[in-house]
């Protein structure tokens, strides 16, 4: 399978931004900016804070825009104060969920083991998972990026079946490029995304590896998106800051189309 046959996926990660009223406003602006565009070549997702889900699902109903969440817990219910289950997200009309974002790993103690549990729970509930992996600056400087990423992919996907992999997107997000304005070069992104594909080939065989959508994330914006998305192993983007501005997000969607 070639890049052209893989589905491009552009996903916004809103992080801890926007109230429900602001979410409605932003989604309305994104829909207006994309009016009349042919979206057949690209899936577009907005991953929003939990409290915005209801407003976002209503605003995007019947349009090309899919709604995602930014995390979910691995248990179905129970004494886990502050957490949200995958089933709860499904019940609210959510279709996608980001798991293992570096901010979760960095600030909230997520490990590859908890990421793996969350991935499996989300898939079992019927969600599509955007699994984030990425190296720290020190790791890149030490020359161990490919080992780190390969290990993350292997642990995070332990026990995920080939059939379930149809609902998994992998996002390569170098931690040093997130929110810093310093993106990986297109060649660096392509090399690591290619390495992820090689790891998937080891785990699941070459056909599945070739069919899996792999995104780049980390300071992707309206200016650098075309070059990054033009790379053979980069099938889409996971976008933070630029996803909060309808015109910039629209430029990135257009580049992916």
18 DSSP β-pair partners: none
Distance CA 139, CA 115 (A): 20
Closest separation in Å from C-beta 240 to ligand 13P:
2
Q: In the complex, what is the shortest distance from the CB of residue 203 to ligand 13P, in angstroms, rounded to a whole number?
A: 24
How is 171-201 classified by DSSP, letter by letter? EE--GGGTTSS-PPPHHHHHHHHHHHHHHHH
Min. distance of Cβ 46 from ligand 13P in angstroms? 12
Catalytic residue among 70, 101, 135, 188: 101
- Looking at the Cβ atoms of 103 and 112, the one nearer to ligand 13P is 103
Minimum distance of ligand 13P from residue 176's CB (angstroms): 10
3-state helix, strand, coil in the chain (%, to 5): 45, 15, 35
Residues 6+ apart with CB under 8 A from 91: none
* Cβ nearer to ligand 13P, comparing 87 with 217: 217
Contact of 68 with 11, CB cutoff 8 Å: yes
Q: List the structure tokens of 232.
A: 């053979």
Residues near ligand 13P, by CB under 6 A = 13, 101, 173, 178-179, 217-220, 238-242
Q: Clarify whether 163 is annotated catalytic.
A: no
In contact, 107 and 148? CB cutoff 8 Å: no
Q: Which is nearer to ligand 13P, 121 or 178 (CB)?
A: 178
Tell me if residue 147 is catalytic.
no
Cβ distance to ligand 13P smaller for residue 26 or 208: 26
Q: 168 or 238, CB closer to ligand 13P?
A: 238
In whole angstroms, how close is the CB of 152 to ligand 13P at the nearest point? 15
Buried b (16+ CB within 10 A) or exposed e, 131-147: bbbbbbeebbeeeebbe
Tell me which of 70, 103, 110, 173 is the catalytic residue.
Answer: 173
CB-closest chain residue to ligand 13P: 240
Residues noted as catalytic: 101, 173
């Amino acid at each position: 399978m070639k890049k052209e046959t893989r589905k491009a996926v552009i996903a916004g990660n809103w992080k801890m931004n926007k109230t429900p009223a602001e979410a409605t406003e932003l989604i309305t602006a994104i829909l207006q900016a994309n009016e009349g565009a042919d979206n057949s070549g690209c899936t577009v997702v907005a991953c929003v804070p939990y409290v915005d889900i209801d407003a976002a699902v209503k605003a995007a109903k019947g349009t090309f825009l899919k709604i995602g969440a930014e995390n979910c817990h691995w248990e179905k219910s129970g004494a886990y104060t502050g957490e949200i289950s995958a089933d709860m997200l499904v019940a609210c009309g959510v279709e996608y969920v980001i798991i293992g974002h570096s901010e979760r790993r960095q600030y909230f103690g997520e490990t590859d083991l908890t990421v793996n549990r969350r991935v499996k729970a989300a898939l079992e509930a019927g969600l599509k998972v955007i699994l984030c992996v990425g190296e720290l600056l020190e790791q890149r400087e030490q020359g161990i990026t490919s080992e780190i990423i390969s290990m993350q992919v292997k642990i995070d996907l332990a026990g995920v079946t080939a059939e379930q992999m149809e609902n998994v997107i992998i996002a390569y997000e170098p931690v040093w490029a997130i929110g810093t304005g310093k993106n990986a070069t297109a060649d660096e992104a392509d090399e690591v995304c290619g390495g992820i594909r090689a790891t998937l080939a080891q785990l699941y065989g070459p056909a599945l590896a070739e069919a899996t959508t792999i995104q780049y994330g980390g300071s992707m914006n309206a200016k650098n998106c075309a070059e990054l998305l033009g790379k053979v192993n980069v099938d889409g983007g996971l976008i933070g800051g630029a996803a909060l501005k309808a015109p910039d997000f629209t430029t990135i969607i257009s580049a992916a189309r």
